[in-house]
Copies of this chain bind each other. A is one copy, B any other.
Amino acid sequence: MTGKIDIAAIVPKVGTLYPPPLHEDTRARVKRALGNQAGLTQFGVNLTTLPPGTSSALPHWHMREDEFVYVVSGHPTLVVGDSTESLSPGDCAGFPAGEETGHCLRNETEEDVVLLEIGTRDPGERVFYPGRDLMAETSSEAFYHHLDGTPYTDIRRRGPGED
């Protein structure tokens, strides 16, 4: 027995659960849950591929979970609030829980971007999306809610070409 993770055995998740039309920029996103494959439960580790034109997420911030991103390959644009910055392989960024500034990474190049994403798992987590009527309660069945608490309906994973 060794602890090496068999990445090829991981079923990738394509697209996101965002309610349409908010899913458009992320529907080609591909995530492989490395940490789950190893039986880790305290934090998630995703190997995430962003094809050209794809974002890692809508700009968001986490109420209770720290987040860290490391650029494996490609040149994503880091978006934090109103600022943008081009990153290169080996660059990294961190987003402490509770810092109320929206962040995400966008692939504005012609080459794939590959990221390693780490985030704590907290059952009381809420995620906010500045400027949008959207909030995630990641432990709730509905997952996505309007800011008044009303759940979105028809939440399911939509990849390329799935409506």
Which residue of B is nearest A86, CB measured?
B4
Contact of A120 among B42, B80, B90, B93 (CB under 8 A): B42
- By a CB distance below 8 angstroms, the chain B residues around A85 are 2, 4
* In the complex, chain A residues 56-72 whose Cβ is within 8 Å of any chain B Cβ: 65-66, 68, 70, 72
Q: Shortest 9 CB-CB distances between A and B: which pairs?
A: A38-B94, A3-B93, A42-B66, A42-B120, A40-B66, A2-B80, A39-B96, A2-B85, A2-B83
Q: A1-B83, A118-B118 are in contact. List 17 more A-B contacts (CB 8 A).
A: A2-B80, A2-B83, A2-B85, A3-B93, A5-B91, A5-B93, A5-B94, A7-B90, A35-B68, A37-B94, A38-B95, A39-B96, A40-B94, A42-B43, A42-B120, A43-B68, A45-B94
Q: Is A138 an interface residue (CB 8 A)?
A: no
Which residue of B is nearest A118, CB measured?
B118
The reply to whether A97 and B42 form a contact with Cβ atoms under 8 Å apart is yes
The reply to whether A34 and B68 form a contact with Cβ atoms under 8 Å apart is yes
- By a CB distance below 8 angstroms, the chain B residues around A41 are 66, 96
Which residue of B is nearest A103, CB measured?
B3
User: Given that A43-B120, A68-B35 are contacting pairs, would A5 and B92 also be in contact in the complex, using a CB cutoff of 8 Å?
Assistant: yes
Q: Is A155 an interface residue (CB 8 A)?
A: no
Q: Is A87 an interface residue (CB 8 A)?
A: yes
Cα A83 to Cα B116 with chains together (Å): 27
User: Which of A40, A85, A91 lies at the interface centre, i.e. has the most chain B CB atoms within 10 A of its CB?
Assistant: A40
